[in-house]
Structure 1
Amino acid sequence: MASNKPQEAKLSDSKEVQLKAYEKQVKDNISSMIENFTEIIKQAKIADGTQVKQTTEGEQVHYEVSVRAANVVRAGESLMKLVSDLKQFLILNDFSSISASTVTSRVKYKNSAEENDKKLLALRDEIASELFLLEDEFFNSAVK
């Protein structure tokens, strides 16, 4: 039993490290989304200047907004993948829930088995009683 505790502690530490990595990813992705969205909003300004300058600046702004929008989408997709990873992590590492479910199922099936055994014993006793009556009737009948 003592040998299991260090391994459980290592497993728990490993889980904590992975959860902290997930937390860092979430913070990084959210800050990336905020930063890129802020920069997109900053580009929505009215510029004064000549037609050529406006056209050139418009193309530059369009390109920058496109890149920043792609960065926002990438961060969003990364967050969605992270949610999927967290779900998988929870499913695979929720040993207490799995253990509780197993214990509950085992108790349920044990109770069901006991109930079925009682029914089978009652059925056996009833069949034995009926068989005894049939044998008694057969051996005591006039036809032999």
Structure 2
Amino acid sequence: MSKAGGGGGGSALGRAAMASAAAGLAVQRQRALQQRVDADVISMVENFTNMIKASKINDPVRNSQEAYQIEVHSAKLVGAAESLLKLVAQLKQTVVFADMSALNASVERHKEEFKEEADVANEVVACVGEKATTLLHDLEDMYFTSKLK
């Protein structure tokens, strides 16, 4: 029994280390995602500002050049918006899969608990069986050695 207790403590330390590593990885991932969001938002603001600047009506010759600039900035604006949409989709997937991994961890934990309970129950049943066998042999001995038979 002491081996099981010692192994449980070691696995608890291992789980704590894994949880700590997972938390560190989650923080790094969160920072990277936040940087992506910041970069995309800054890009959208800059491109929108450039579109507004380029939309000032000047002479007719420059209007075609400015129209091209507006097209370029609007394409960049759309690209940044698409990047943000992809990021949102990735975050949704992360939430779904994180919930699944938490659910799987919970299932594994319950499975281990039930296995331990089943092992204890099996030991109790085996002990009861041994006692019943011993008592049955004692009763048989008493019956066969009895003078009342």
Bin of the TM-score, shorter chain as denominator length: 0.5 to 0.7
Higher RCO, 1 vs 2 (CA within 8 Å, ≥6 residues apart): 1
Q: Using the TM superposition, name which of 87-96 and 9-18 deviates more.
A: 87-96
Structure 1's unaligned 5+ residue stretches are 48-53, 107-144
Match of 1:75 among 76, 80, 103: 80
Structure 2 residues without counterparts, runs of 5 or longer = 1-11, 112-149
The answer as to 2:97 corresponding to 1:92 is yes
Q: How many residues align?
A: 98
Q: Distance in 1 between matches of 2:24 and 2:100?
A: 15
CA positional deviation for 1:40? 0.6
TM-score (norm. length: structure 1): 0.60
Tell me, in whole angstroms, the C-alpha distance in 2 between the residues paired with 1:46 and 1:61: 9
Q: Which of the two has greater helix per residue?
A: 2
TM score, norm. by length of structure 2: 0.58
SS for the counterpart of 1:94 is helix
Deviating above 6 A after TM superposition, structure 1's stretches of 4 or more consecutive aligned residues are none
Please state if 1:37 is matched with 2:48.
yes
Per-residue Cα deviation, 1:63-91 (whole angstroms, up to 9, x for no partner)? 11000000000000000000000001111
Query: Which residue pairs with 1:26 in the alignment?
Result: 37
* Sequence identity (%): 32
